[in-house]
Amino acid sequence: MAWRRTIVLTLAAHAVAVPAMAQQHDHQHDQPSVKPQPQPTAQAQPDDTTADHAEMGHDAHAEPAAASPGSAVVTFPAPEAGSGPPRAADAIWGEEAMRSAREDLRRTHGDFPVFWFQGDRLEAQVRQGNDGYLWDVQGYYGGPTRRFWFKSEGESGFGEPVKDAQFQALYSQAIAPFWDLQAGVRQDMGGPGTTHAVIGVQGLAPYMFEVDAALFVSHRGDVTARVEAELDQRITQRLILQPRTEVNLAAQDVPMIGIGAGISSFELGVRLRYELRRELAPYMGIEQSWRLGRSADFARANGENPSVTNYVVGIRFWF
Amino acid sequence: MQTDQLSRRTLFRLLGAGGALAAVPAWAQGHSIGARHEPPIRVGFDQVHGDVINLSVGAGQRTIQGRTGHGIAVNGSVPGPLIRLREGQNVRLNVTNHLSEDTSIHWHGLLVPFQFDGVPGISFPGIRPHETFVCEFPIRQSGTYWYHSHSGLQEQSGHYGPMVIDPAGPEPVACDRDYILLLSEFTSLHPHFIMRRLRTGGGYFNRQQTSWTDEYPMSVAERRMWAKMRMPPTDIADVTGSTYTYLANGRGPEEGLEFLFRPGERIRLRLINGSAMTFFNVRIPGLPMTVIAADGQNVRPVEVDELQIATAETYDVIIEGGRAEAYAIVAEAMDRSGLALAMLASRSGARASVPALRPPPLLTMADMGMNHGSSGSGGHGGMDHGSSGSAPGAASHSMAGMSMRDTSLLPPNVALGPGIDMVSMAPVDKTDDPGLGLRDVPHRVLNYRMLAALEPNRDTREPSRLFEIHLTGNMERYMWSLDGSMFSAVSDVPIRFAWNERVRVKLVNNTMMAHPIHLHGMFFEVVNGQVPAHQPRKNVIVVQPGASATFELTANEPGDWAFHCHLLYHMHAGMMQTVTVVGPEGAA
């Protein structure tokens, strides 16, 4: 039964602690000065918890410090505390000697740039008809909230000229803890050479979905959009299953590249990778893609099947 | 009976010389090194003392348990030499830089004129290659301290060492043997590589993440909730045993650090956490430890079976040698990804069995500052060992209608932005939290409320100013900050104190990691429920995840001082600010 008594006493202590905190809160408007020490003996609570503790022989555990009155009574430094930047060392070592050390400290503590490059998908695709390959890489250079971001993806059949290659150069600005706003340009090559303005968001959605969504306006005035989402499901610390989806949308028909208004294509895939090391993981998987609506018509007219199943094998890396 | 005089014997005891090597110090053995050109760095430390002490900082190659890596050593060894001083003496320290880059030495916990505090860019310009920096100051205190580089990430590479200052009078606690146990880490990775990986590859070093096949006691609903919040409940340590070998006086757990004892002897063990990123849970199965000092300052003796020592803290404990042939001193990394190990041995070579690593702990909703009810809050009370410590109780229903980032809870001086991914919902003081992984162990564990200063504090005035500092961060971007601003944004905006001002500083942790916050140049008193005269003096205070901790300070050391999280990569990621104390001559 000893354990039970302990718990009851613990609860009692909590019960007392709560009103104490609540009281602190009540005080925060009418008590501009600092709330005094949470001295056990000075705490004139109706239930003297200190006594409880003493009885239990826990004299080393004094009663918890009371919560502070809160930010409402935070007081500001007196004029005697001075003002301006910290320059005490200048008087000893000289302003000149300190300047570069100061600058170095500032540059290296916080907002410093790093370079990151990721080959998210570098894969061979086996399908009915002509097999092909695909690349999907991205990277950035910059600090934690402002980055130059670049992306490239493209695909082709083996032995064919590259028919679809895209390159994006973006400025990326953090707008929320998990989200970046990205804006820049995209250049398509391999087809009818199109330049797009890009605006998009990239980040981590609730439930750990990695999302990349962008709107493109081509130099011909066509408006398209793409949303990609990936989710890493760890089976073990190294074996990771990654479902992935991609939706392409268009505001109008773009017959030149075989795109119809509406949802032009939809991809659903799953890749199973093994991280030899964090930076290097071979994978295999399967991906199904559909071209829909007018896009499907364009595909059929071209003699292509609007529904394609790809068996993929590839490598994911970053550094 | 006291180690007042430096005899040959006490000297060797202090070194904790390894096993059969007691007569032949480890560093005299040399190591066979491969093809690299860098000279080998010795493992373990010797001692320097006197009025003039010469230290030289140089590069070399470290070898730990067969793994090698680039290292930076003071006087050719990692840890650097024990600097042994006496209270009341004057010391001149000549620090010569043999590196090809700038270096520095910060005397951690020492009361010094600010210009000798050793922080480049705040207290001095740094030590250029091939230069010798001379500091001279009186020693105004006694106790267990340490020193380390404050330049770049050199500390991770081995630039640290112990420092012991004997009191001018008698020691308050007598002992037969006096040993130093300095805990740290070795990695073969370059520290800048680690920094980059922390910024670019979330969870890079965590090999204990949740998975379909893990053994964590979490329900599907709880897992879904953590995923929804985009927070990993396994983020106990940013850098782990996946790259670190944990070191005891520079040796890996297989390298047999040994402290000799005889049954019945009183052994003083000076624990120093000189690691870059690791909290250690220290215990000696079979022997209780009596804590007699914290951060170099004497406390009323308190007996425990285990204690958590945060990065940069020091604890002195007294152990009484039992009848067993040997006892293992086990320092588990807080995330249980590895351990540092030393043996108390009654004869050279005696070994005790080493307990297996315990299962890794998990963060709970209480670590987000959610503190309704008592279950799952973990930290409440050294008494409620019966409550569900690390089991994430009360989690499944508690997210309903709650925001994990309600920025209206923050005071107006906090800079809002993407650098803040969480706001503690109801931060409460958790100075009674024994620390992650120790909330539900079935024995006595130290917490801050158990510490009481032995000698009364001189200044017990009631603070005239309260002020709150919010610890903030974004784990995904690896941004760490104070009041929402990384150091790079506030390098010219110090926290200012007037001369002799008495201030009460409340630290509120809006992150899910425990941060050991260190103030240079002054001791503060932890507000832990003791009467003001006996609030323990410290220079590092751990603020538990989602919780608050408060200290009081008399601003009586003029100058500019660094104030930062002592997790090395957190400091580098921005969790730092300058504290300016105006001198008695008044505001500049």
User: Which ipTM did the prediction report?
Assistant: 0.88
Q: Which residue has the higher pLDDT, A54 or B559?
A: B559
Listing from the earlier edge strand, what are the strands of the sheet with B52-64?
B42-43, B77-78, B67-74, B52-64, B90-97, B132-138
Would you tell me which residues 183-202 of chain A have a C-beta closer than 8 angstroms to some C-beta of chain B? none
Interface test with B, best of A8, A25, A33, A37 (most B CBs within 10 A): A37
Contact A81 B386 (CB under 8 A): no
Contact B411 A236 (CB under 8 A): no
Of the candidates A61, A80, A100, the beta carbon closest to that of B382 is on A61
Contact A65 B528 (CB under 8 A): yes
Q: Which residue of B has its CA nearest to A203?
A: B476
Contact A65 B419 (CB under 8 A): no
- In the prediction, which pLDDT does A130 show? 87
Would you tell me which residues 27-56 of chain A have a C-beta closer than 8 angstroms to some C-beta of chain B? 33-41, 56
Q: Which residue has the higher pLDDT, A63 or B162?
A: B162
Residues of A in contact with B423 (CB under 8 A): none
Residues of A in contact with B124 (CB under 8 A): 89, 92-93, 98, 101
Q: CA-to-CA distance for B228 and B100, rounded, in angstroms?
A: 48
Q: Which residue has the higher pLDDT, A78 or B255?
A: B255
- In the prediction, which pLDDT does B403 show? 81
Q: CA-to-CA distance for B428 and A45, rounded, in angstroms?
A: 19
Residue corresponding to tokens 């804006």: A183
Residues of B in contact with A116 (CB under 8 A): 200
Q: Which residue of B has its CA nearest to A62?
A: B529
- In the prediction, which pLDDT does B101 show? 96
**Contact by Cβ (8 Å): B124, B116:** yes
Q: Could you tell me which of B214, B417, B177, B124 has the C-alpha nearest to residue B316?
A: B177
Residues of B in contact with A5 (CB under 8 A): none
Q: CA-to-CA distance for A302 and A290, rounded, in angstroms?
A: 15
Contact A88 B405 (CB under 8 A): no
Interface contacts (A, B; CB < 8 Å): 280
Residues of A in contact with B560 (CB under 8 A): 86-89
Residues of B in contact with A87 (CB under 8 A): 560, 588
Of A5-14, A71-80, B79-88, B391-400, highest mean pLDDT: B79-88
Of the candidates B421, B450, B499, the beta carbon closest to that of A60 is on B450
Q: Which residue of A has its CA nearest to B120?
A: A101
Averaged over A161-175, what is the pLDDT? Answer: 94
> Is residue B550 less than 8 Å (CB to CB) from chain A?
yes
Of the candidates A10, A85, A234, the beta carbon closest to that of B374 is on A10
Contact B527 A38 (CB under 8 A): yes
- In the prediction, which pLDDT does B402 show? 67
Q: Could you tell me which of B134, B133, B79, B143 has the C-alpha nearest to residue B111?
A: B143
Contact B588 A84 (CB under 8 A): yes
Contact B418 A35 (CB under 8 A): no
For A206-262, how does the pLDDT look when each residue is reduced to its tens digit (9 = 90+)?
Answer: 999 999 999 999 999 999 999 999 999 999 999 999 999 999 999 999 988 889 999
Contact A105 B491 (CB under 8 A): yes
Token readout for B84 is 């042994």
Would you tell me which residues 130-169 of chain A have a C-beta closer than 8 angstroms to some C-beta of chain B? 144-145
**Contact by Cβ (8 Å): B474, B230:** no
Contact B550 A63 (CB under 8 A): no
Of the candidates B380, B413, B530, the beta carbon closest to that of A14 is on B380
**Contact by Cβ (8 Å): B561, B539:** no
- In the prediction, which pLDDT does A300 show? 92
Distances (CA, A) of A230 to A267, A319, B139: 12, 19, 59
Phi, psi of B74 (to 5 degrees): -100, 125
Q: CA-to-CA distance for B414 and B564, rounded, in angstroms?
A: 17
Contact B384 A34 (CB under 8 A): no
**Which residues are within 8 A (CB) of B500 and not within 5 positions of it... i.e. 6 or more apart?**
B554, B555, B556, B584
Residues of B in contact with A83 (CB under 8 A): 496, 587
One digit per residue, pLDDT tens: chain B, 588 residues? 333 333 434 443 444 433 333 333 343 344 444 445 689 999 999 999 999 999 999 999 999 999 999 999 999 999 999 999 999 999 999 999 999 999 999 999 999 999 999 999 999 999 999 999 999 999 999 999 999 999 999 999 999 999 999 999 999 999 999 999 999 999 999 999 999 999 998 799 999 999 999 999 999 999 999 999 999 999 999 999 999 999 999 999 999 999 999 999 999 999 999 999 999 999 999 999 999 999 999 999 999 999 999 999 999 999 999 999 999 999 999 999 999 999 999 999 999 999 999 999 999 988 888 865 433 333 333 333 333 333 343 333 445 456 888 888 898 889 999 999 999 998 999 999 999 999 999 999 999 999 999 999 999 999 988 889 999 999 999 999 999 999 999 999 999 999 999 999 999 999 999 999 999 999 999 999 999 999 999 999 999 999 999 999 999 999 999 999 999 999 999 999 999 999 988 654
Would you tell me which residues 488-507 of chain B have a C-beta closer than 8 angstroms to some C-beta of chain A? 488-489, 491-494, 496-499, 501, 504, 506
Beta-strand ranges (E) seen in B513-588 are 515-519, 524-526, 537-538, 540-543, 548-555, 559-565, 576-581
- In the prediction, which pLDDT does A66 show? 42
Q: How far is B543 from chain A (nearest CA, A)?
A: 14
Interface test with B, best of A43, A61, A178 (most B CBs within 10 A): A61
- In the prediction, which pLDDT does A270 show? 98
- In the prediction, which pLDDT does B36 show? 52
Burial class (CB in 10 A: 0-12, 13-18, 19+), B334: buried
Residues of B in contact with A176 (CB under 8 A): 418
For B188-242, how does the pLDDT look when each residue is reduced to its tens digit (9 = 90+)?
Answer: 999 999 999 999 987 999 999 999 999 999 999 999 999 999 999 999 999 999 9
Contact A34 B486 (CB under 8 A): no
- In the prediction, which pLDDT does B390 show? 39
Interface test with A, best of B399, B491, B571 (most A CBs within 10 A): B491
Would you tell me which residues 46-105 of chain B have a C-beta closer than 8 angstroms to some C-beta of chain A? none
Is the torsion defined by CA of B347, B349, B352, B355 positive or negative? positive
- In the prediction, which pLDDT does B371 show? 67
DSSP A209-247: EEEEEEEEEETT--EEEEEEEEE-EESSSSEEEEEEEEE
Would you tell me which residues 509-548 of chain B have a C-beta closer than 8 angstroms to some C-beta of chain A? 527-532, 548
Q: CA-to-CA distance for B115 and B92, rounded, in angstroms?
A: 14
Of the candidates A74, A82, A178, the beta carbon closest to that of B588 is on A82
Of the candidates B123, B382, B386, the beta carbon closest to that of A89 is on B123
Q: How far is B219 from chain A (nearest CA, A)?
A: 15
Phi, psi of B321 (to 5 degrees): -60, 130
Q: How far is A175 from chain B (nearest CA, A)?
A: 6
Phi, psi of B421 (to 5 degrees): -100, -5
Residues of A in contact with B574 (CB under 8 A): 109-111
Averaged over A48-57, what is the pLDDT? Answer: 35
For B267-312, how does the pLDDT look when each residue is reduced to its tens digit (9 = 90+)?
Answer: 999 999 999 999 999 999 999 999 999 999 999 999 999 999 999 9
